[in-house]
Amino acid sequence: MQTYSFQPTVEYARQLDQEDVLAHYRNEFYIKPDSIYMDGNSLGLLSKRAEKSLLEVLADWKELGIDGWMEGKHPWFFLPETLAKLSAPLVGASAEEVIVTGSTTVNLHQLVASFYKPEGKRTKILADELTFPSDIYALQSQLRLHGFNPETHLIRVKSRDGRLLEEEDLIAAMTEEIALIILPTVLYRSGQILDMKRLTDEAHARGILIGFDGCHSVGAIPHAFSEWDVDFAFWCNYKHLNGGPGSVGSLYVNRKHFGTLPGLAGWFGSKKDKQFDMEHLLIPADTAGAFQIGTPHILSLAPLIGSFEMFQEAGIERIREKSLQSTQYLMDLIDFELEDYGFIIGNPREEKRRGGHVSLEHKEAARICKALKEYGVVPDYRAPNIIRLAPIALYNTYEEVWKVVQILKNIMAEKLYEQYSNERNVVA
């Protein structure tokens, strides 16, 4: 990657684009003319490779019918394992420790059902107050199923400033009452990266299992789950990994836990050679595949074939390098151009703590987001006051980053946002 030295001109943005080793991947995506898409941290764009692999799977269904399970270009029976092999390097795991299955919340339910084993004093689950609500709903329901009151048994570590979490506070909450810890890898609002290795080490030193929600990090930053000895993790594949709306999710289980009986059993968790014996005794797979439940959603898996192949080719280290430089450029432009308009950059500025998006705070955030859309920029709004902007390494350009800030400056200078209500749309 080129040497970066901030200059606020469009010429410099174009120079960065000319030197970008990932620039050609932009041609792999469907880019809407006269639109700048900065919401890839919420839903990634469609790539031509993902479209191609989906059409190939449809063709197999068309031509082969039920024989597509074992024949064709992408045999369906082994597709979750095939995709696990392609995507495991993104999280620093072996192929056997990953399976592509379910959805984020279903996978969380499965993992908590499998690894939450309250006993004696250890009956509580530790989370945080800034995590995505769906995770909290799942944890609350799991506690109820065990006969516990979520008000007393779900411990949510507080943020000191409403934006970030301090590892010291999380560690201090790892008491002898905690049976399980679930934390985000990257906070969905502020984009803060938690120190997963440190937290895992501290949890294990206290005899506590720990798992991570990687929805806002996988595909944007490198991970080393196996090296860090993380117990388990789960994530979606439709954000940074461009798997499509409602794409099938993924989970990771450290190989030291292979053999753990899945808490929620289903026939696709069987050993492959035993599944069609049709016995009423489950013989689980001896890999993370044991934590599958039902029949894979093949047509939702299909786009991931092309997408994962592209990530394997581009390399997560190069993706991270460009992501860091793009977000740095965006923050530098915001500092330079927008200092008079009441914006606050709410994400960490340090590279090791910054994920793949910039969290821009403003009291008029909802109406500013609406104005941005009207003027050709697709941002992301998060209540109560956050505009998330994500320059995605594989398809956003530095010139687009420069243009976004100029459009935002014009919206603020001309008060164009005032014609909109400061309320979120139904889908923010």
State the Cα–Cα distance between residues 26 and 43, nearest whole angstrom.
16
Q: Which residues contact 67 (CB under 8 A, 6 or more apart)?
A: none
The single-letter code of the amino acid at 59 is: A
Return the closest-CA partner of residue 187 out of 221, 215, 219, 226: 215
Which tokens belong to 1?
């990657």
Check whether 133 is labelled as a binding-site residue: yes
Q: Could you give the dihedral angle defined by the CA atoms of residues 131, 135, 136 and 141, in that order, rounded to the nearest 10 degrees?
A: -170
Check whether 327 is labelled as a binding-site residue: no
Check whether 105 is labelled as a binding-site residue: yes
Check whether 135 is labelled as a binding-site residue: yes
State the Cα–Cα distance between residues 291 and 217, nearest whole angstrom.
22
Check whether 295 is labelled as a binding-site residue: yes
Check whether 118 is labelled as a binding-site residue: no
Give the orientation angle of helix 298-314 with respect to helix 48-64, to 10 degrees: 140
Tell me whether residue 369 is exposed, middle or buried, using C-beta atoms within 10 angstroms of its C-beta: 0 to 12, 13 to 18, 19 or more.
Answer: buried
**Contact between 284 and 290 (Cβ < 8 Å):** yes
Residue 280: CB atoms within 10 A of its CB come to 4
Check whether 104 is labelled as a binding-site residue: yes
First to last CA, the chain: 34
**Contact between 270 and 292 (Cβ < 8 Å):** no
CA dihedral over 135, 141, 144, 149, signed as positive or negative: positive
CA dihedral over 224, 227, 229, 232, signed as positive or negative: positive
Q: Which residues are annotated as a binding site for pyridoxal 5'-phosphate?
A: 104-105, 132-135, 213, 216, 238, 267, 295
The annotation places the binding site at 104-105, 132-135, 213, 216, 238, 267, 295
